[in-house]
């Protein structure tokens, strides 16, 4: 009986959510986009939790469609004419990638909607069959939404790196507040033990694999990538700018500044809220009780050494017994990144 109830719930809840989200009468409700994201995330979490864990080195649950692949090279890849491709590399060399998909990003992940202005591309990185990173590159450039490729720098020559330099692409932060792309990838490669490893990348959404590719990497040690990461970060620093504000709330911004000052920040030069709305935190995901809500902001300040830095900070409000939310709290200070003073307001 218990199993039957669980199966009914697994069928009924997603169906009701889908009907609710599709209702034209609800399309104008304030905050609907946020509600959609919360429900969609909960639905994917539920799907992922119900699936058995893949065996080490197992093939993906669903192969990428024909014509879709992620290819690699020791030199930058021209999306129009991919050449000098490789599936094996030696430690100490540069590595570049190119994601190719069957449909445009607008059709593949944007449901073909003409009003879409940005699309999140979910990218997995696996080492020897184990997932080590999953994060998003957000395409914001209008013309890029209608392409069938995405340049993916993995361990590039900093002078030839394209990642982080075009404001039309936003690279989200993952583990350790490292950005997806060469920041995170060189960090992971630099931690590998000597020997041969299989590195796999895939575009995965809700269990579907839209594009995938892998290569082998061999070496006695991988210190080269640890050193390369420092050069990558230095190159990114030269063009680094802060995220744009997604919400303007002067009262909340003033409270955030005060909390940062209480945490030891001095000479705060700029603060912008980078979320469009609050994110709801549930006790156990799905439709479990809401325990708090959180929102992120980017703040820039001058350090004690006289240099400027910025980072993403997270603020929470705990849900109270009467259903309201308590005072704002500073709960996380991300990795501090250097920024030139003249780039703060760009």
Residue 162, domain member (yes or no): yes
Residue 307, domain member (yes or no): yes
Same domain, 213 and 338: no
How much is the CA Rg of the chain, to the nearest whole Å? 22
**Do 301 and 335 touch, CB atoms closer than 8 A?**
no
Residue 62, pLDDT score: 53
Same domain, 224 and 254: no
Residue 54, domain member (yes or no): no
Same domain, 213 and 312: no
Residue 63, pLDDT score: 52
Mean pLDDT computed over every residue of the chain: 84
Same domain, 90 and 182: yes
Residue 64, pLDDT score: 54
Same domain, 38 and 75: no
Residue 286, domain member (yes or no): yes
- Residues 85-142: pLDDT tens digits? 999 999 999 999 999 999 999 999 999 999 999 999 999 999 999 999 999 999 999 9
Range in 13-17, 117-121, 300-304 the model is least confident about: 13-17
Residue 25's domain comprises: 2-49
Same domain, 89 and 200: yes
The single-letter DSSP state of residue 194 is S
**Bridge partners of 273?**
247, 297
Residue 52, pLDDT score: 34
In terms of Cα–Cα distance, which of 229, 265, 241 is closest to 340? 241
- Residues 178-200: pLDDT tens digits? 999 999 999 999 999 999 999 99
- Residues 226-284: pLDDT tens digits? 999 999 998 887 777 888 899 999 999 999 999 999 999 999 999 999 999 999 999 98
Interval 312-316 mean pLDDT: 96
**Do 275 and 247 touch, CB atoms closer than 8 A?**
yes
**Do 316 and 331 touch, CB atoms closer than 8 A?**
yes
Same domain, 168 and 256: no
- Total domain count for the chain? 3
Residue 335, pLDDT score: 83
Same domain, 178 and 325: no
Same domain, 82 and 139: yes
Same domain, 18 and 93: no
Same domain, 195 and 326: no
Residue 244, domain member (yes or no): no
End-to-end CA distance of the chain: 60
Same domain, 26 and 100: no
Residue 245, domain member (yes or no): no
Q: What distances in angstroms separate CA 42 from CA 36, 89, 278, 288, one per listed residue? A: 10, 39, 15, 10
């Amino acid at each position: 009986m218990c199993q039957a109830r669980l199966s009914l719930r697994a069928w009924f809840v997603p169906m009701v959510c889908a009907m609710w989200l599709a209702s034209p009468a609800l399309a104008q409700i304030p905050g609907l986009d946020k509600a959609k994201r919360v429900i969609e995330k909960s639905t994917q979490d539920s799907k992922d939790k119900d699936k058995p864990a893949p065996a080490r080195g197992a093939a993906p649950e669903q192969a990428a469609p024909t014509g879709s692949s992620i290819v690699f090279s020791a030199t930058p890849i021209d999306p129009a004419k991919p050449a000098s491709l490789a599936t094996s590399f030696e430690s100490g060399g540069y590595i570049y990638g190119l994601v190719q998909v069957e449909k445009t990003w607008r059709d593949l992940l944007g449901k073909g909607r003409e009003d879409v202005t940005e699309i999140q591309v979910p990218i997995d990185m696996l080492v020897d069959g184990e997932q080590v990173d999953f994060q998003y590159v957000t395409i914001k450039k209008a013309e890029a939404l209608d392409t069938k490729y995405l340049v993916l720098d993995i361990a590039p020559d900093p002078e030839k790196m394209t990642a982080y330099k075009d404001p039309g692409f936003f690279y989200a932060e993952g583990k350790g507040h490292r950005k997806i792309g060469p920041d995170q990838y060189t960090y992971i490669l630099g931690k590998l033990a000597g020997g041969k490893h299989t590195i796999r990348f895939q575009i995965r959404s809700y269990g579907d694999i839209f594009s995938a590719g892998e290569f082998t990497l061999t070496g006695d040690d991988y210190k080269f990538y640890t050193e390369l990461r420092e050069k990558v970060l230095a190159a990114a620093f030269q063009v680094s700018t802060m995220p744009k504000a997604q919400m303007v709330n002067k009262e909340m911004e003033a409270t955030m500044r005060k909390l940062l000052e209480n945490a030891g920040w001095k000479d705060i030069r700029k603060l912008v809220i980078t979320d469009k709305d609050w994110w709801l935190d549930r006790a156990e995901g799905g439709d479990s009780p809401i325990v708090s809500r959180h929102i992120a902001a980017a703040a820039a300040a001058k350090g004690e050494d006289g240099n400027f830095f910025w980072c993403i900070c997270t603020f929470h409000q705990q849900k109270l017994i009467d259903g309201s939310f308590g005072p704002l709290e500073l709960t996380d200070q991300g990795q501090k990144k250097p920024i030139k003073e003249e780039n703060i307001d760009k």
